[in-house]
């Protein structure tokens, strides 16, 4: 024995995406896996037969509503089908009975369209309905005068006036909520009792509403709707009604499962795109920070280079000054009458017989002049050598600095994937040197200059000690 089945899907006003997918399925704009594509041409469309027409007619009917909430039900999808073949009646009669029931239940003007599918296991009908209902609605807010009139009328009718129950707060206990539920139930009965009084006083108005309470508000309404469809449609074709209060729930078809999986994948893709954008944003921010820090590091290194250049110049000047100071002191020492070195030099020169002190001093002065000239030449040569080495170091440094700057600029342009440690290595040893290493290098340079000067002084002493050639 086959069963007649009626299913209703509520679609909210704001759920345009969900409605669009259901329209595509009904109009076979999207063909699911369980559809026999060779039989799609046997389907029939009644009413709005295109996607555009369906949406347009739905909007036109919804525009008639006096009030419309975004979270309210805007469309009903009604599906009439069977679990097996009918025992009596033709297919045309079965479809005509479904059309008649839809028009009687919802009104032909509210039935946007109904669509016969013969390309699946059983012939069934999809339809879209705008649940418009015109009814009298009581005022929810009364003026003081209207409230006084209502209370007088209730006294005449011997109906006790009741206030609207106040909903407990979030922190209320179970006892408060039980009291509120009991008061609310009592107030609902009170509203039903005073409804005729409100109509009599003119405190009600006629409104056109988007509502599905009449058709599917709770289990009782759905059960009554199933009874209605069974009595007016399914029973006359030998179809059984489903079991009452069976507790069974509607299991989605393969299309719905596929759609659910598709929605989950789309949501996952959107989340992945969002995460990717956030990660790119974070990486870009990190690169900007790294670029800024690298700029600070470059500025620090440039300052360090400048300090090294200053120290280099200072050391060179100190070495030259030291060499000059030593030469001047030596010359002054040798030119003094009481100097030990001058005395040794004079003693090394044999005095001539009958020669006065002034004559002997005149004999020594040429050697002192020769020594001064040698010192001056040494200082000039030393100065030239220091200047040449310094110029070479400056040129090498400028070349290394330009290479390093070009390397860093290229690295920053490649989306900031610069490795600071690599750049530092390319700048040379002195960029990575610690203050202790720099001090050690400066001390080593001063030591070499001092050793060179001492060697030169030693050679000069030996030359002076051997005496001038006659």
Nearest to 63 by CA among 52, 47, 74: 74
Domain count of the chain?
Answer: 3
Task: Using pLDDT thresholds of 50, 70 and 90, give the confidence band for residue 430.
Answer: low
Question: Same structural domain for residues 236 and 317?
Answer: no
Per-residue pLDDT reduced to its tens digit, 262-272: 778 888 888 98
Is residue 65 one of the residues assigned to a domain?
Answer: yes
Question: Same structural domain for residues 68 and 171?
Answer: no
Of all residues in the chain, the percent with pLDDT exceeding 70 is 73
Question: Same structural domain for residues 86 and 190?
Answer: no
Is residue 16 one of the residues assigned to a domain?
Answer: yes
Q: Which range of residues forms the domain containing residue 356?
A: 301-465
What pLDDT score does 345 carry? 47
Pull the structure tokens for residue 414. 């490649």
Question: Same structural domain for residues 69 and 164?
Answer: no
Is residue 256 one of the residues assigned to a domain?
Answer: no
Per-residue pLDDT reduced to its tens digit, 96-110: 999 999 999 998 999
Is residue 286 one of the residues assigned to a domain?
Answer: no
Task: Using pLDDT thresholds of 50, 70 and 90, give the confidence band for residue 94.
Answer: very high
Is residue 282 one of the residues assigned to a domain?
Answer: no
Question: Same structural domain for residues 307 and 186?
Answer: no
Question: Same structural domain for residues 24 and 144?
Answer: no
Is residue 289 one of the residues assigned to a domain?
Answer: no
Task: Using pLDDT thresholds of 50, 70 and 90, give the confidence band for residue 170.
Answer: confident
Nearest to 222 by CA among 256, 245, 252: 245
Angstrom distance (rounded) from CA 201 to CA 261: 55
What pLDDT score does 433 carry? 66
What is the DSSP secondary structure assignment for residue 109, as one 8-state letter? T
Nearest to 79 by CA among 28, 126, 16, 129: 126
Question: Same structural domain for residues 175 and 221?
Answer: no
Stretch 297-303: mean pLDDT? 84
Cross-strand bridge partners of residue 125:
80, 116
What pLDDT score does 383 carry? 75
What pLDDT score does 128 carry? 95
DSSP letters for 284-303 = HHHHHHHHHHHHHHHHHHHH
Is residue 69 one of the residues assigned to a domain?
Answer: yes
Does the pTM exceed 0.75? no
Pair type for strands 132-138 and 124-129: unpaired
What pLDDT score does 133 carry? 82
- DSSP SS3 for 234: helix
């Amino acid at each position: 024995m086959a069963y007649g089945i009626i299913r209703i899907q509520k679609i909210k006003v704001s759920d345009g995406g969900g409605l669009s997918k259901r329209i595509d399925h009904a109009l076979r704009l999207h063909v699911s896996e369980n559809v026999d594509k060779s039989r799609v041409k046997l389907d029939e469309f009644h009413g709005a037969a295109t996607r555009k027409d369906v949406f347009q007619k739905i909007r036109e009917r919804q525009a008639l509503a006096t009030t419309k909430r975004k979270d309210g039900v805007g469309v009903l999808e009604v599906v009439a089908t069977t679990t097996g073949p009918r025992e009596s009646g033709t297919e045309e009669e079965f479809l005509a009975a479904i059309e008649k029931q839809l028009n009687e239940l919802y009104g032909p003007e509210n039935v946007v369209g109904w669509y016969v599918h013969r390309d699946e296991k059983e012939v069934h009908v999809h339809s879209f309905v705008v649940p418009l209902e015109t009814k009298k609605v009581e005022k929810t807010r009364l003026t003081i005068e209207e409230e006084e009139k209502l209370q007088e009328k209730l006294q005449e009718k011997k109906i006790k006036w009741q206030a609207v129950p106040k909903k407990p707060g979030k922190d209320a206990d179970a006892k408060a909520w039980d009291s509120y539920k009991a008061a609310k139930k009592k107030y609902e009965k009170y509203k039903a009792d005073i409804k005729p009084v409100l109509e009599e006083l003119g405190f009600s108005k006629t409104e056109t509403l988007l509502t599905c309470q009449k058709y599917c508000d709770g289990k009782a309404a759905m059960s009554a709707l199933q009874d209605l469809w069974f009595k007016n449609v399914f029973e006359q074709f030998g179809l059984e009604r489903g079991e009452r209060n069976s507790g069974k729930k509607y299991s989605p078809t393969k299309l719905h499962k596929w759609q659910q999986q598709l929605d989950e994948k789309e949501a996952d893709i959107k989340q992945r795109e969002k995460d990717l954008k956030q990660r790119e944003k974070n990486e870009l921010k990190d690169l900007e920070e790294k670029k800024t820090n690298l700029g600070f590091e470059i500025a620090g290194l440039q300052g360090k280079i400048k300090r090294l250049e200053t120290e280099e110049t200072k050391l060179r000047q100190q070495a030259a000054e030291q060499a000059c100071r030593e030469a001047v002191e030596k010359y002054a020492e040798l030119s003094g009458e009481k100097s030990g070195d001058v005395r040794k030099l004079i003693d090394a020169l044999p005095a001539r017989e009958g020669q006065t002190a002034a004559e002997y001093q005149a004999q020594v002065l040429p050697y002192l002049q020769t020594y001064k000239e040698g010192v001056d030449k040494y200082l000039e040569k030393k100065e030239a050598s220091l200047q040449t080495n310094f110029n070479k170091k400056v040129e090498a440094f400028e070349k290394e600095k330009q290479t390093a700057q070009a390397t860093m600029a290229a690295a920053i342009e490649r989306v900031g994937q610069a490795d600071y440690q690599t750049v530092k290595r390319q700048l040379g040893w002195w960029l990575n040197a610690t203050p202790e290493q720099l001090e050690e290098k400066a001390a080593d340079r001063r030591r070499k200059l001092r050793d060179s000067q001492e060697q030169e002084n030693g050679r000069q002493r030996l030359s002076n000690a051997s005496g001038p050639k006659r």
